[in-house]
Amino acid sequence: MLPGTVATTDGAERIGVFGGTFDPIHVAHVVSAVEARRSLSLDRVVLVPAGDPWQKRGSVTAPAADRMAMVEAAVAGISGIEVSPIEVERDGPSYTYQTLEAMAGPGRQLFLIVGADVAATMHSWVGIEHLPGLATLVVVDRAGEQPADNSLPAGWPCERVAIPRLDVSSTDLRARAARGWPLDGLVPPGAVRVIAERGLYRS
């Protein structure tokens, strides 16, 4: 086991669940998934692109199928990182509690991975009251970001994972792509290829 990892003794499969619009996926997303897996000794981390991200309606640029393709290409070949189409294939809004209910099962321990910025807004999520019974919360901090103290349900088991501060955002990347600026180094190569092949984010 690597130094600083968390041991498990009950034999349950430890699965990280990392959802998002991924519009587009970028290097901070990948680093978050990889580091959460390492630091918490997760067996695998499953990235879940949102099909109908109800809180971002009107601001999501790429269709769900294209976002799914970008995520698959971005993490291809990375050990222990997978992609699930569960929300893309679901009709209606993407609610995290429904996704966790569908992924839960005997012999599985779920860990919901979110960024500190997302954790600070989770009080507005539909079904937030169900989440503590479904998964341990994992908050990824970029160089010390902290969610508001009152943003999470009381008593929810929570782990923290620190990653280097990577000042990259999907909003900025969409603007770069619209200008025709390169995304190399900011977006994984596979996702860059999908963006180019499908003509995504062009102005």
pLDDT tens per residue, range 100-129: 999 999 999 999 999 988 888 888 889 999
- Which phi and psi angles does 62 have, rounded to 5°? -85, 140
Residue 4 has pLDDT above 50, yes or no: no
Q: What is 13-198's CATH number, 3.40.50.300, 3.30.365.10, 3.40.50.620, 3.30.540.10?
A: 3.40.50.620
DSSP 8-state code for residue 123: G
- pTM greater than 0.75: yes
C-alpha closest to that of 188 among 30, 46, 17: 30
| pLDDT tens, residue by residue, 178-200 | 999 999 999 999 999 999 999 99
pLDDT band (50, 70, 90) for residue 152: low
- Apex CA 99: angle with CA 96 and CA 100, to 5°? 90
CB atoms within 10 A of CB 180: 9
Query: Helices marked H in 45-114 — which ranges?
Result: 64-75, 96-103
